[in-house]
């Protein structure tokens, strides 16, 4: 009987100790989880986290700006095409130029540059001069709109390099700690290694979406430029020939056209 009570007492004490140990481990894990937040990661990453944070903020602003400014509807304004086409068919170059200046956009500014060359006082329109003027205006407009896109490329290329620099800095500190204090304080060594790893990871986290959006906006903008040149070409063809381009004809008109 006494042996049974003694064994039960031992089991009770052991269970209490195990429960207390589990509680301490849970509290330690909870404390570690609480400490591992954004601020602690920034502190662990060291000096490199501040320029990387600036890169991240700038990238976010550029992505939002490009989404707003590079919409094809905002750049092309295809709703203006029918009205401008009628002006070109009626040889109303001055009226079309005034219309473009009243409704400034990438499309209107580029098309307006060609119309300005048409109003240089000559009776006949020099198509080569008009084409050169349109190309110059399109390059000027493109260079302005490509700046935010190119900045994404710069961030995408620079962020990993800056993260790598932070990694080298952290490893130098880690070896310096080992040389001066040995392996007696592993927490200091772990802090330096943490700085080395966090900066590299942060640089990659910033660079990957930056490069993704760079190619996304670049390809979309190139497509918009191709459509812009095509639309402007249709308008100047209508001005030169006095005929509506086939692309603007409906099916019924197309069926009644002469020829096969």
Report the alpha-carbon distance of residue 203 to residue 155 in Å, rounded.
10
Kindly tell me the number of DSSP H helices and DSSP E strands found in the chain: 10, 0
CA distances to 72, 148, 188, 197 from 105, in Å: 11, 18, 58, 47
59, pLDDT greater than 90: yes
pLDDT band at 164 (very low <50, low <70, confident <90, very high): confident
* pLDDT at position 27: 42
pLDDT band at 10 (very low <50, low <70, confident <90, very high): very low
Report the alpha-carbon distance of residue 176 to residue 184 in Å, rounded.
13
Q: Per-residue pLDDT tens for 44-55?
A: 667 778 888 899
Q: Per-residue pLDDT tens for 80-109?
A: 888 998 998 888 889 999 999 999 989 999
């Amino acid at each position: 009987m006494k042996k049974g009570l003694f064994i039960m007492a031992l089991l009770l004490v052991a269970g209490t100790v195990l429960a207390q140990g589990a509680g301490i481990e849970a509290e330690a894990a909870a404390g570690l989880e609480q400490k591992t937040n954004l601020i602690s990661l920034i502190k662990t990453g060291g000096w490199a986290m501040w320029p990387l944070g600036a890169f991240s903020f700038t990238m976010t602003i550029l992505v939002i700006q490009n989404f707003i400014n590079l919409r094809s509807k905002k750049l092309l304004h295809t709703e203006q095409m029918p009205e401008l086409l009628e002006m070109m068919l009626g040889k109303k170059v001055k009226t079309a130029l005034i219309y473009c200046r009243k409704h400034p956009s990438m499309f209107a500014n580029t098309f307006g540059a060609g119309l300005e060359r048409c109003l240089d006082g000559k009776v006949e329109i020099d198509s080569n001069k008009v084409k050169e003027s349109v190309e110059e205006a399109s390059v000027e407009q493109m260079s302005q709109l490509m700046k935010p896109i190119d900045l994404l490329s710069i961030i995408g290329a620079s962020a990993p390099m800056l993260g790598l620099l932070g990694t080298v800095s952290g490893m130098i500190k880690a070896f310096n700690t080992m040389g001066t204090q040995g392996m007696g304080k592993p927490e200091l060594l772990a802090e330096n290694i943490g700085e080395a790893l966090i900066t590299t990871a942060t640089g990659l986290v910033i660079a990957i979406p930056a490069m993704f959006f760079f190619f996304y906006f670049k390809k979309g903008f190139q497509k918009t430029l191709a459509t812009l040149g095509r639309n402007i070409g249709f308008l100047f063809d209508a001005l030169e020939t006095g005929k509506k381009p086939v692309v603007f004809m409906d099916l019924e008109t197309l069926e009644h056209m002469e020829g096969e």
